[in-house]
Amino acid sequence: MDLTTLALTEIRDLLRRKKASAAELVRAYLERIERVDQDVRSYLTLSPERALAQALHVDQAIAAGESLGPLAGVPTAVKDVILTRGVRTTCGSKMLERFIAPYDATAVVRLEAAGACVLGKTNCDEFAMGSSTENSGFHPTRNPHDLTRVPGGSSGGSAAAVAANLSAVSLGSDTGGSIRQPASFCGVVGMMGTYGRVSRFGLVAFASSLDHIGPFGRSVRDVAAVLKVIAGRDPNDSTSAEAAVPDYEAEIEKDVTGLRVGVPCEYFAGLAPEIGGNIQEGIDLLQKLGCRIVSVSLPHTNYAIACYYIIATAEASSNLARYDGVRYGLRAREYCDLREMYEKTRDAGFGAEVKRRIMLGTYVLSSGYYDAYYLKAQKVRSLLARDFTEAFKDVDVIVTPTSPVPAFKIGERANDPLQMYLADIYTVTADLVGIPGISVPCGRTQGDAAHGELSLPVGMQLFGRHFDESRLLRVAYAFEKAGGFGIS
């Protein structure tokens, strides 16, 4: 039996019936990583000792007949912008190449308390800034479906690891689509809860009003199980919400008949047929399942990218001021005064995209431009929120493509930042508005065998109301059960 392809329910069952041990599971994954990850390159750092120690702990609990946590023995990968005590956390940046966090992120504490075994830290765009994982300060990650293509980003390593069976589930972070877009590129499920649903304590800050931690998995049920574990109020994050956390694994079983699914015209105008065809089939399937398909309008959609890149870069320029070579991270070797130490440290530690975003953010916040850019973007953010408030009066969930394109070639977009930013068009709005979003597989592109073009995964995105993750997961699960992942 291949232990690296199991769903979480199968892992639970196996451990309870003592057909396999948690240590065997972890070892099977570590062996597969050893063999396969030299091609995919999803991990930056492995933590075998930590994973095996946790596995032994789980196996002892099983032997003693103790009750097991919901993620007992589940091999898990963690994006390298999420702190892990004693295991280096680089954020994909030379700035933090040797940074060892003195504490664990709350999400990691909760994963491990539930029995999960952390295999290692996954590659990402530097400080989560990018849509392809090419901006990693160390190496790019490759898409397991076509090694010449990107896995998406910024959580490309976490998405690729789950897709290539290099972890059962994983954690990513989403600021403008960084979970959902790589999930769609890699053919896995990726979810971002409502802003505040999952504690950000221990998530290295990129844009604090937009940052989320969320799960990747190979099925909706696996993602529901992880979200349940990591969600909930955390006194260490003042923006984490008090709202009660439902049992998502039970919620997904509920019927979807009569649910109203909104289709926003703005997300389909000009969409390439290779994506649009699959999404239309997905919508048809939802209708067959008893959902009511309703046209809605989100009239300010076209302004989301401009709004997002003003707010995200402004917040980033402020958050990344902390990397100055004083308290942690890189410090330049030679300097004659404090000012020069700052500048040389930041010059050596940051890559080009991080510098560009710090520059943009500093510009839009600078004297004389604040009202023209930042304040204006905050107002447009209100308009985007209003769009959704209006739409959710008529529908329960909204369905869109996750990305306007499938996985692109490594290097194809690297030199044109604006083109790269525009690829986030369908994902950024949910972050700005704070609503939950999920990307599920929705078939594949045709490919073109004659020209060596492989068939690539397509992702369908669902949005829900604030704190209504249950209904999102329910629709996603019904879609999966009805064969939606393998459409076309």
Partner 1 sequence: MSLTEKEVRYVAELAHLKLTEGEVREFLPQLDSVLEYMAKLNELDIKDVEPMAQVLAQGSADFAMRLDSARKTFSPDEALSNAPERGDDLFKVPRVIDRE
79 catalytic per annotation: yes
Q: Which of 40, 305, 410, 472 binds partner 1 (CB under 8 A)?
A: 305
Q: Does 193 bind partner 1 (CB under 8 A)?
A: no
Q: Does 269 bind partner 1 (CB under 8 A)?
A: no
Q: Does 63 bind partner 1 (CB under 8 A)?
A: no
Which of 79, 121, 228, 344 is catalytic? The answer is 79
Tell which positions 358-387 bind partner 1, by CB under 8 A.
Answer: 358-360, 362-364, 366, 373, 375-383, 385
CB of 296 to partner 1, least distance (A): 20
Q: Does 342 bind partner 1 (CB under 8 A)?
A: yes
Q: Does 196 bind partner 1 (CB under 8 A)?
A: yes
Q: Which of 17, 35, 102, 393 binds partner 1 (CB under 8 A)?
A: 102
Q: Which of 69, 156, 325, 457 binds partner 1 (CB under 8 A)?
A: 325
Q: Does 418 bind partner 1 (CB under 8 A)?
A: yes
Q: Which residue, 21 or 427, is less far from partner 1 as judged by CB? A: 427
Q: Does 316 bind partner 1 (CB under 8 A)?
A: no
The two beta strands, 169-174 and 75-79, are parallel
Q: Quick one: how far is CA 318 from the chain centroid?
A: 23
Which of 42, 158, 170, 178 is catalytic? The answer is 178
Residue 188, token pair as written in the block: 């896995």
Angstrom distance (rounded) from CA 153 to CA 216:
13
Q: Does 343 bind partner 1 (CB under 8 A)?
A: yes
CB of 42 to partner 1, least distance (A): 25
Q: Which residue, 17 or 333, is less far from partner 1 as judged by CB? A: 333
* Residue 397 β-bridge partners: 261, 464
Q: Does 312 bind partner 1 (CB under 8 A)?
A: no
178 catalytic per annotation: yes
Q: Which of 64, 244, 269, 336 binds partner 1 (CB under 8 A)?
A: 336
Q: Does 328 bind partner 1 (CB under 8 A)?
A: yes
Q: Which of 185, 216, 267, 350 binds partner 1 (CB under 8 A)?
A: 350
Q: Does 487 bind partner 1 (CB under 8 A)?
A: no
Count of residues that interact with partner 1, criterion CB under 8 A: 70
User: Is the Cβ–Cβ distance between 331 and 432 less than 8 Å?
Assistant: no
Tell which positions 281-300 bind partner 1, by CB under 8 A.
Answer: 300
Residues in touch with partner 1 (CB under 8 A): 98-100, 102-103, 195-196, 209, 235, 238-239, 241-242, 300, 302-303, 305-307, 309-310, 317, 321, 324-331, 335-339, 341-344, 346-347, 350, 352, 355-356, 358-360, 362-364, 366, 373, 375-383, 385, 416-418, 421, 433-434
Q: Which residues are the active-site residues?
A: 79, 154, 178
